[in-house]
Amino acid sequence: MIKTSLGEYTVHLNGSENGYLKTVYLGNKQAGFHLINNPLSRQLCALQSMCHELTELYEDLLYTYTEWMNSKKESHPYVNAYERTKPLHRLLRNLYISALIGYAKCFTRSDQGRKYRLQEKQIKKHYSKEELTTHRDILRLRNAWVAHGGASENEDAHVLLIQNPENNHLFLTVGVNIKHLPDSASLEKIKDATLKLLQLCIMLRNEKYEELDKMIEAQPAVLIKGDLQYELHVNSVPTGD
């Protein structure tokens, strides 16, 4: 069983082969609940999911960036920022790619997923010109390099038919050039952009929460239907409530 705190309530999560069963308790007494499912609640859920994912990404990026900079200043024995072929640098590169995907995911929509996405018009008034340029660069990198097989300055491949200068024999070879990313500047940019987007998502989430709370108070009969539930089936371990 997993227990998490929800103010004065405790959320219990019991695992099974079919997922997890979520229950809520106040002390030793089980509390009932209503599941709110309307467009506003779905937007709130999506923003909460974004906040969780962006928080983890930012924490990982901040830690990695700090280690990276320390390696340059102090020759950190476990992180060599100048060695681009070691497994640690490849892990750093994969974190960078994950950050590009996680950031851009907030601006994409799927009927099977969050069912809500952010749009550029929502962030424009909160971003400086430089921050907006970085935002667009991140989405471009995601679309052209990370998520699709489109053209990108970060990788290219070519086929060469090489002729031996001594006997004119030919042999075929395929070469791939992949830019070693991230460098310090690109890592810092995605770190700062992730924090900026996280702060915006927290603000929007809080606004949606207040809006839904007022809606329930004004029209409880519209949103609260049916009897109290005491169990909720969920498919994964929660990262928070």
Q: Which 3-state string (H, E, C) describes 168-236?
A: CCEEEEEEEEECCCCCHHHHHHHHHHHHHHHHHHHHHHHHHHHHHHHHHHHCHHHHCCCCCECCEEECC
What is the pTM assigned to this prediction? 0.80
Q: Is 16 helix (H, G, I), strand (E, B) or coil?
A: strand
Local confidence band at 101 (pLDDT 50, 70, 90 cut-offs): very high
In the structure encoding, which two tokens stand for residue 5, read together?
């705190």
For the chain, the structural domain boundaries read 41-209
C-alpha closest to that of 181 among 53, 68, 44: 68
In the structure encoding, which two tokens stand for residue 62, read together?
């901040």
Q: Which residue has 């609640």 as its token pair?
A: 41
Q: Enumerate the β-bridge partners of residue 101.
A: none
Q: Is a pLDDT exceeding 70 seen at residue 83?
A: no
The amino acid present at 49, given as its one-letter code, is S
Q: Give, in order, the Cα–Cα distances in Å from 63 to each of 21, 23, 56, 183.
A: 34, 35, 11, 15
Give the highest mean pLDDT range of 81-90, 185-194, 213-222. Answer: 185-194
Instruction: Please indicate whether residue 73 or residue 183 has the higher confidence score (pLDDT).
Output: 183
Q: Which of 6-10, 34-38, 79-83, 195-199 has the lowest mean pLDDT?
A: 79-83
- Distance, in Å, from the CA atom of 199 to the CA atom of 97, rounded to the nearest integer, reads 21
Degrees to nearest 5, angle at CA 100 with 96 and 106 = 145
Task: Identify the pLDDT of residue 136.
Answer: 96
Instruction: Please indicate whether residue 182 or residue 162 has the higher confidence score (pLDDT).
Output: 162
